[in-house]
A = this chain, B = another copy of it.
Amino acid sequence: MREAYHEMLDAVSDDLVEMTRLVQSAMNRATQALLDSDLALAESVIAGDDAIDALASKVEADCFQVSARQQPVATDLRIIVASLRISASLERMGDLASHIAKAARLRYPNSAVPAQLRPTFQAMGAVAQNVVAKTGSVIATKDVTMAADVARTDEEMDRLHKELFTTVLSPSWEYGVEAAVDVTLLSRFYERFADHAVTIAKRVVYVATGEPYASVDPEAIVDSL
């Protein structure tokens, strides 16, 4: 019984790692759809979000089942609650990838990203890939030292986010208000995506070390305007 119980907890962990894989793929395709104005690719990201949501629901149902069947001790309870929150964050990361795909679709056949900012979004896409891949490793290995790596990658995203605002608000910005509004929201989606990864990594650290949960707010968007 006790063994079956831990098997279920392992299955939940596997599902969370699988969610990071789906989210990584979604974000990769969303960035490509954005840069290439590829409508079919954008549609595939939007349609694929259901699979991420379904896996989040499965994690939630499994967590309930495992808790109800076997009375969890304090540590297991922490794992269960952390799993629920991690799943919610990953679901939200999938939503953000979907938002980026929707922006690409909205401006098709034009590009939502002016030529001048293509390198920035290319870099943001690469950092997003990187941060979610590392997050998957942290969940799979529970390696606390890797969590710091996730935070460092997030800092790179914040740097790009600030750089973008500098570009948009410079007097030489020549793409007008609509493009400014588009890239402001797009950049925020990437920035929030990386923030969620940091939140997840901190959750894993909390479970591994038992250190009290400190309120996590890794974003400082308005400060960076």
Residue ranges of A at the interface with B (Cβ–Cβ < 8 Å):
53, 56-57, 60-61, 63-64, 67-68, 71-74, 77-78, 81, 84-85, 88, 91, 95, 99, 102-103, 106, 165, 168-169, 173, 176-178, 180-182, 184-185, 188, 212-213, 215, 217, 219, 221-223, 225
Contacts and interface: CB of A to CB of B under 8 A. Distances in A.
Main secondary structure of the interface of A (DSSP, over half): helix
Contact of A185 (B77, B99, B221): B221
Q: How many subunits of this chain does the assembly comprise?
A: 2
A126 to B, nearest CB: 22
Contacts of A221: 99, 185
Contact of A85 (B61, B88, B181, B184): B88
B225 A91 contact: no
A61 B72 CA distance: 16
A133 B63 CA distance: 31
B222 A185 contact: yes
